[in-house]
Amino acid sequence: MNPMLPDVLAGIVIVSLNAYVLLAGADFGGGVWDLLATGPRKESQRHLIAEAIGPVWEANHVWLILALVLLFTCFPPVFAQLGIQLHIPFVLALIGIVLRGSAFAFRSYGGERDDAQRRWGRVFAIASVGTPLLLGAALGAVASGKIGPAEMSDRFWTTYVSPWLNPFGVAVGIFTLACFAFLAAVYLTLEAEDAALRDDFRRRAMGAQLAVIASGVIALALSGGVAPAVQQGLLGAPWATALHILGGGTALVSVGALWRRRWVVARIAAASEVSLILWGWALGQYPFILPPDFTIDGAAAPTFTLELVLGALALGGAVLFPSLYYLFRIFKAKAPASAL
Amino acid sequence: MSSLLAARSQMGISLAFHIVFALVGMAMPVLMVVAERRWHVTGDEIYHELAQRWAKGTAILFAVGAVSGTVLSFELGLLWPGFMRVAGPIIGMPFSLEGFAFFTEAIFLGIYLYGWDRISPRAHLAAGVAVAVSGVASGIFVVIANAWMNTPAGFVIDAGRITDIDPLAAMANPAALSQAIHMTLAAYAATGLAVAGIHASLLLKDSANVFHRRALVIALLVGGPAAVLQPLSGDLAARQVARYQPTKLAAMEALFRTERDAPLVLGGWPDMRIPTTRYAIRIPYGLSLLAFHDPHAVVRGLDAVQRADWPNVPAVHWSFQLMVGLGTYMALVALWAGWVGWKGERGTRSAERRSENGGGAAIAGHRLLLHAITLVTPMGFVATEAGWMTTELGRQPWVIYGVLRTADAVTPMPGLVAPLIVFTLLYCFLGVIVALLLYRQILHSPNVPESLWKFMTPGQPR
């Protein structure tokens, strides 16, 4: 058996989470900007968001399903433990996911009545804000090492609630929301064809970048008490400095590119920035998949299962990536050359 | 309410809700693709309109299906962590493949819905075909995983520990093929005949409307053959159940005592105190004949296992009877419609105006048949729900038949009544909204009288 196999599959889980964050995360962020739409171009902002999300959001959403399915096939005890202790935030996030997806479809295909459309738009927007907060808090619980068989007691609060509902969890939730909103605003500068509208989202992107940095610093500061392993990894590991330089660099580049209206550069920098954050967390808790009770190796399914899944991934990828390319080429390949 | 009952109820409600959207997601793309193809071939604008309207309905139903499917994949862990710990490595494989199939479906549905003006007509039609194929594939993968719960394979239990896991053998479990066929046919029959029923009811009010005639013919062509084939696949599935899940078969047939020359029990009241089935019609040798194709075969009754291992016999028996009854009616109506349509088609074939669709005209003019088809509208969905209840309730008290009890799989999380209430309310609310939206869309169907459509400018596909 290849000892790297569990690591490879854990890496693929993070890759699909990464894709989910960059794609579906931006769709959530779109909902945030729908909720916060203001000014004279309020309706055009909402219209642009709906146009940008419409053809792709279903496909973007599937990255979460893929991550989930890989997790329960390759690391079943981890999936089981998350299901037990994070029951409450997951149920609440699911309600958000259900309402958001349905409301978006109802608004797009439901009919012509304006007031009904506005009501569904409202549901879509509010659910888009709530869901990332909950998913982020759940991630915070994972990072802080409070999810595991040894962490369970007879007390309901400490087993099922306090692991995610604490200052650190809330901070990670807000940080996640800020990242999603930032991605959406940056992407939308490229989607907009009208200069004024583009500038609306340019301002929003800058503001969101500030929120990302502020909430990130707060979350990192709070992590000392609750997620020492991740904090140590993030601050002390040999790769930490490189990661910080890269992360800071991409943040600077994205701000600079927004400032100089280089929309494509801004998009790439923003996506890299958020991806680096995600990988920083993942590497920070390596070799644990769910600290402190489950390492990647310890939680992995038998080798034959992992090998087959890898084969299925290759096969599925051969269908998936050309299809995705085709989808995005049809709907997203309209960036004007001047945007560079 | 116990944790186990709350969790089972929530899973049951989630599945019952999702299954409707899953059926539609599997079959509806076929209807839109057929309509679009006819538009390309005939240039008749009505088909274009039809494809677009069906696509709109599919978009709403697919979106709700996608999110309710997400709920289910989470619920596997939220409600049944004990099951996932055991089953994940064995049966995660079809779920992974389902993930990719679902991905393909979502991608090409996005292209189909938003790409009418952006890609060539041929590419657009191909996108529709991709949606139809991947929709069926994703349904089949999920059913394979369910079949494994009924007839587990691909592992060895050695002193209470599971070893020698072989996910491929698990996918090739005995029930996989018969269940996959049965479910796919159910999707086509339920959806096709439901759409046919809606248009038949509208034709009853306005039999000259060509829009509804066209829609009715396509829907019958998709749903009819599946409804006729379904009893055959049911026979295959039942014989498979008789062999590998004898307790489930005994509950389906309310057969309490192991019998040679077992009769087929129709209807009746399973009296659990005695226990025996009262007031039933019994067809001699019927069950032995159906289950083993041998009138003298021994059929194992519920007495073969201890009473603690019995499923809820009345629920399973009635669900099964309901499914068979509705399925039989659907098959008969489909045959009747086929006969009338075929005669009508032959009638016009000799005449020169073949494109006028003589079969559709003949069915649209047959009021009794239209009434019979209208009656079918909800039946396929009810039958599928009943069939699903039969196989799921019939497997209890096991979640993995003979391996893991449902009670041992449930989460230790207390207070499961709360999410049960929340999801019940949420799904009731969504169900009402979806029904209202679809109803409004149907009300706004175009009015294309027979006398007028010939003068409409035929729109050519771009």
Write the pLDDT tens digit of every residue in A164-187: 999 999 999 999 999 999 999 999
CA distance to partner chain A, nearest, from residue B59 (Å):
7
Kindly state whether A84 is in contact with chain B, defined as any CB-CB distance less than 8 angstroms: yes
Write the pLDDT tens digit of every residue in A279-311: 888 888 888 888 888 989 888 889 999 999 999
The distance in angstroms from the start CA to the end CA of chain B is: 60
Kindly state whether A209 is in contact with chain B, defined as any CB-CB distance less than 8 angstroms: no
Residues in chain A with pLDDT values less than 50: 335-340
Rounded Cα–Cα distance for residues B191 and B206 (Å): 23
Instruction: Supply the DSSP string of B141-207, one letter for each residue.
Output: HHHHHHHHHHS--S-EEETTEEES--HHHHHT-TTHHHHHHHHHHHHHHHHHHHHHHHHHHHHHH-T
Kindly state whether B430 is in contact with chain A, defined as any CB-CB distance less than 8 angstroms: yes
> Which chain B residues contact residue A152 at CB under 8 A?
412
Residues in chain B with pLDDT values less than 70: 348-357, 449-462
Other Cβ atoms closer than 10 A to B460: 11
- The residue among A320, A317, A316, A309 whose CA lies nearest residue A5 is A309
The number of C-beta contacts closer than 8 angstroms across A and B is 209
**CB nearest A62 (choices: B106, B437, B440):** B106
Kindly state whether A170 is in contact with chain B, defined as any CB-CB distance less than 8 angstroms: no
Kindly state whether B337 is in contact with chain A, defined as any CB-CB distance less than 8 angstroms: no
Residue with tokens 């051969």: A318
Kindly state whether B162 is in contact with chain A, defined as any CB-CB distance less than 8 angstroms: no
Question: In angstroms, how far is CA B399 from the centroid of its own chain?
Answer: 21
> Which chain A residues contact residue B59 at CB under 8 A?
105, 108-109
Are the CB atoms for B117 and B124 separated by under 8 Å? no
Structure tokens at B371: 């009434």
Q: Which residues of B120-148 are buried (b: 16+ CB within 10 A; e: fewer)?
A: eeeebbbbbbbbbbbbbbbbbbbbbbbbb
Provide φ and ψ at B416, rounded to 5°: -70, -10
Strand runs (DSSP E) across A212-296, as ranges?
288-290, 294-295
Query: Which residues 135-154 of chain A have a CB within 8 Å of chain B?
Result: 152
Provide φ and ψ at A191, rounded to 5°: -75, -35
The answer to whether B71 contacts A98, with C-beta atoms less than 8 Å apart, is yes
Are the CB atoms for A77 and A6 separated by under 8 Å? no
Rounded Cα–Cα distance for residues B341 and A249 (Å): 70
Question: H/E element holding B432?
Answer: helix B417-443
3-state secondary structure B212-225: HHHHHHHHHHHHHH
Rounded Cα–Cα distance for residues B196 and B34 (Å): 14
Q: Which residues of B2-13 are buried (b: 16+ CB within 10 A; e: fewer)?
A: ebbebbbbbbeb
> Which chain B residues contact residue A79 at CB under 8 A?
77, 81, 84, 88
Instruction: Supply the DSSP string of A80-110, one letter for each residue.
Output: HHHHHHTHHHHHHHHHHHHHHHHHHHHHHHS
Residue B76: closest C-alpha in chain A: A83
Rounded Cα–Cα distance for residues B190 and B181 (Å): 14
Residue A160: closest C-alpha in chain B: B413
- The residue among A3, A5, A2, A18 whose CA lies nearest residue A283 is A18
pLDDT value for B196 = 95
pLDDT value for A336 = 45
Question: pTM here?
Answer: 0.90
Rounded Cα–Cα distance for residues A175 and A180 (Å): 9
In this predicted complex, what is the ipTM?
A: 0.90
Domain span holding position A264: 5-339
Rounded Cα–Cα distance for residues A330 and A55 (Å): 10
Are the CB atoms for B46 and B459 separated by under 8 Å? no
Rounded Cα–Cα distance for residues B149 and B60 (Å): 31
Which one of A87, A307, A321, A332 would you mutate to disrupt binding with B, by most B Cβ within 10 Å of its Cβ? A87
Q: Which amino acid is at B212?
A: H
Rounded Cα–Cα distance for residues B451 and B128 (Å): 32
Kindly state whether B72 is in contact with chain A, defined as any CB-CB distance less than 8 angstroms: no
Rounded Cα–Cα distance for residues B56 and B48 (Å): 12
The answer to whether A302 contacts B99, with C-beta atoms less than 8 Å apart, is no
Q: How many domains does chain A have?
A: 1
pLDDT value for A53 = 86
